[in-house]
Amino acid sequence: MMEFDSVRLLRDAEIREGQRWIYSADFNTRYATDAEGKVRPKNPARIDDELNDMRFILDRGGTVAILAHQGRHGKAENPPIELRGAAAYLSEKLGMQVCYCETNTGRTARDYVREMRPGQIAVMGNTRMHEGEEKNHLPLANEYTWLGRFAAIGGFGKAHRANASNVGILEYIPGFLAESQRREMELLAPWAGSDGSYSVAILGGVKKEKITIGLRRLVETYDCIIPGGIVLNTILKVRGIRVGDSVLEDDGRTFEREMGEVLEGPHAHKIWMPAYVAVARKEGDEYKPFGNAHRDSGVENGYIVADLVTGDSWKHLQRSAREGGRVLMAGTPGLFLDSTREMLGHVNGARVLILGGDTVSDVGEVDERITRSTGGGSALYFIAEGTTPVFEALKRNFILSR
């Protein structure tokens, strides 16, 4: 069981009418307008998880200025966008008007929050509009603190990132751990470390954390690693196998060095490798299934390794199921979800956890006994390290501001 007496908990906060609060949230999802003309997030769970914490402050007369992000600063393929869609969705879910302020620093933002009345809430401008947000730039964090006297730190999906809006601000004002974060850490705790059962980790998707955090640490505490996505592609590349246009980069770089260290380490034998992979061919802006190939054959430019052929991976999954072990899926191993569905068909009896908002959304409705977390990279970080940068910052904040 996690111990939370080293941080302030939002549920224990004494909130007075008119008290100004900053709420650090994670709204990093795409938005679209449905057939009824309503704005909907692709992965609403990340927002829905925050609702009760916001209500806790609002019901006691506090004001809430939300600092959240979507997209990446300076990344043309995923640029930050305005968060009006998030404000519209929150208005519906909270049953009250949630205003939107297009900025979060400077006189405009300061004047905006000063005019808010007790029990009012507003979404401020996207924090990723600032270059200093992801760099935890302290002058930017100090600017944020003009929006509130206290900080409620939610947004577990970004808890593995020391940003100005969730770590930097704790240098200046008292911070409180939101219930959404506390619940998530308690949910994930049984998958951290080694518990003596036969444990399998399926690592896929396109994010670097699957290699830099997940593979590097879970190979020490889990019994079998099934690689897919960027993890499998990078293994193949390190072994000198051509991967064509397969995903290797995240945040402008590749991770052969980190992968090489794992493959040369004492636990490399735990990595199960498929004998065959599914290949897709580029047609216009999309990739279409092309067929299966032996993993050592490689693929040319214009083609990608789109999935793994599950082969005898079921032996590891069924062993975990027989022994009541753990199965962790962080990112879907393939583009077309064929291997995902097949592997999930072998885990009845195991304790299963699926990580990441996109992964949870892609998998859809599966066995209700499967545990889900929208945390993604932060959930993987917590399982690997038993803590997060945000939790550690809250611990320091508690000690220094007593």
347 with 366, same domain: the answer is yes
Neighbours of 306 (CB within 10 A): 23
Alpha-carbon span 231 to 331, nearest angstrom: 10
Residue 286 placed within a domain:
no
- In terms of DSSP H, where are the helices of 191-280? 209, 216-221, 229-238, 256-263
Residue 39 placed within a domain:
yes
pLDDT of 202 reads 96
Q: Are 2 and 179 in contact (CB under 8 A)?
A: no
Q: Are 304 and 328 in contact (CB under 8 A)?
A: no
Which class for 52: exposed (0-12), middle (13-18), buried (19 or more C-beta within 10 A)?
middle
H/E stretch holding 39 reads strand 39-41
Alpha-carbon span 399 to 38, nearest angstrom: 45
pLDDT digits (tens, 9 = 90+) for 203-249: 999 999 999 999 999 999 999 999 999 999 999 999 999 999 999 99
Joined together, the tokens standing for residue 258 give: 């980190």
215 with 175, same domain: the answer is no
pLDDT of 373 reads 84
Alpha-carbon span 38 to 402, nearest angstrom: 45
pLDDT of 361 reads 63
β-strand pairing of 63-67 with 121-123: parallel
Q: Shortest CA distance to 123 belongs to which of 54, 31, 30?
A: 54
Q: Are 230 and 208 in contact (CB under 8 A)?
A: yes
CATH number of residue 366's parent domain: 3.40.50.1260
pLDDT digits (tens, 9 = 90+) for 372-394: 887 788 999 999 999 999 999 99
Residue 3 placed within a domain:
no
40 with 146, same domain: the answer is yes
Phi, psi of 256 (to 5 degrees): -65, -35
Which class for 143: exposed (0-12), middle (13-18), buried (19 or more C-beta within 10 A)?
buried
CA triple 55-56-57, angle to 5 deg:
90
Joined together, the tokens standing for residue 81 give: 């966008």
Q: Which residue has the higher pLDDT, 107 or 359?
A: 107
Amino acid at 292: N
Q: Which residue has the higher pLDDT, 362 or 25?
A: 25
39 with 128, same domain: the answer is yes
Alpha-carbon span 190 to 244, nearest angstrom: 38
Count the alpha carbons within 13 Å of 31 in the hemisphere toward its beta carbon: 22
Write out the residue range of the structural domain in which residue 157 sits. 10-183+387-400
**Averaged pLDDT for residues 291-304:** 95
Percent of the chain whose predicted confidence (pLDDT) is above 70: 96
pLDDT at 363 over 70: no
pLDDT of 366 reads 54
391 with 381, same domain: the answer is no
**Averaged pLDDT for residues 26-37:** 81
Q: Are 352 and 182 in contact (CB under 8 A)?
A: no
Residue 53 placed within a domain:
yes
Q: How many domains does the chain have?
A: 2
DSSP 117: P
Q: What is the pTM of this model?
A: 0.88
Residue 225 placed within a domain:
yes
87 with 228, same domain: the answer is no
179 with 198, same domain: the answer is no
225 with 167, same domain: the answer is no
163 with 199, same domain: the answer is no
**Confidence at 402, pLDDT banded by 50, 70, 90:** low
217 with 359, same domain: the answer is yes
Residue 356 placed within a domain:
yes
pLDDT of 71 reads 84
257 with 219, same domain: the answer is yes
Q: Are 243 and 237 in contact (CB under 8 A)?
A: yes
200 with 245, same domain: the answer is yes
**Confidence at 116, pLDDT banded by 50, 70, 90:** very high
